[in-house]
Amino acid sequence: MTMRLRIGAAGLAMAVTLLAVSTAGSASEAQTIREALAKVLPDAKPTSVQPTPIKGLFQVEIGPQVMYMTGDGRYLIDGAIVDLETRENLAEKAQNEARQRAVEALGEDEMIVFDAPNAKHQITVFTDIDCGYCRKLHQQIDGYQAEGISVRYLFYPRTGVDTPSYDKAVAVWCADDQRAAMTEAKNGNPVDSKACNNPVQRHMELGELMGIRGTPAIILENGQLVPGFVEPKRLVQVLEQ
C-alpha cells in the first residue's frame, strides 16, 4: 500500500498493523476514526472526517492528503474509488479539492504573483530557482499572461533548507521588488541577499505533504497536480477542458 503521509516504511507498517487491531469505544464513527489514527499517527491530526456514498466508509483529510477508513477505525484504504455509473474517481476528486483548499489557506500574501492583465485562469507553481524547466517556464511568463493565466509561485528548493537554492529563494522573497528579483534569479543572475521573515520553509512543508517530488509542479484551479513544464497554449487548453 502506498500512502502520501510523510512517515517511513517501518512506521507505516506499524501504523497499518496497529490500525488492524484497534478497538472502538462508544464514540461516534468519526471520533472512533480520530482515536484510531491518534494511536498510530499521533502527529497526523485529521482536518475532516466525512461519510462517503459507500456505507461504513469515511473520507479522512489531513491537510492536503486524503485517505479512507472504515467507521470502526480498523481498515485504512489509500487508492482509487471509482463510481462505475458516472466513471468518476471519487478519491481523485476529493484529493484535488483538499489540495486546492490547502493552497488557498496559505493565501496570496505568502506567494509571489504574476497577474495576467485579463486573467481567466490562475495556476500555483512550486518552483526551484535552480531548476532548468522552472527557468523555462518563467521565461514564458509573458506567454502565460497573454493566455489569461496568472502565475502564483511557491518555493520548493529541492536541495533542502540551508542550501544555495534555498538561500536564493529567501533572497528573492526578501527583495524590495520580488517579481523583478524572481526574474533575475531565474536568469541566473545574483540577487542581493537579505534576511527577513519568509514563508519558504512553509512552502516546502506544504509541498512535502502534497507529495511533490520534482519541479515545476503546477496546481490547477481545481486542485489537480500537473508535474513538469507545460507550455502556455497547451496549458490553457488543459484549464479549459
Active site residues: 128, 131, 134, 158
- Compute the distance between CA of residue 165 and CA of residue 223 in angstroms, rounded to an integer: 26
- Compute the distance between CA of residue 45 and CA of residue 22 in angstroms, rounded to an integer: 17
Residue 107 DSSP label: -
Lookup result for grid cell 477508513: 69
- Compute the distance between CA of residue 122 and CA of residue 114 in angstroms, rounded to an integer: 10
Q: List the grid coordinates of 43.
A: 502527529
- Cis ω on the peptide bond leading into residue 216 (within 30° of 0)? yes
Name which of 213, 211, 241, 215 is nearest 229 in CA terms: 215
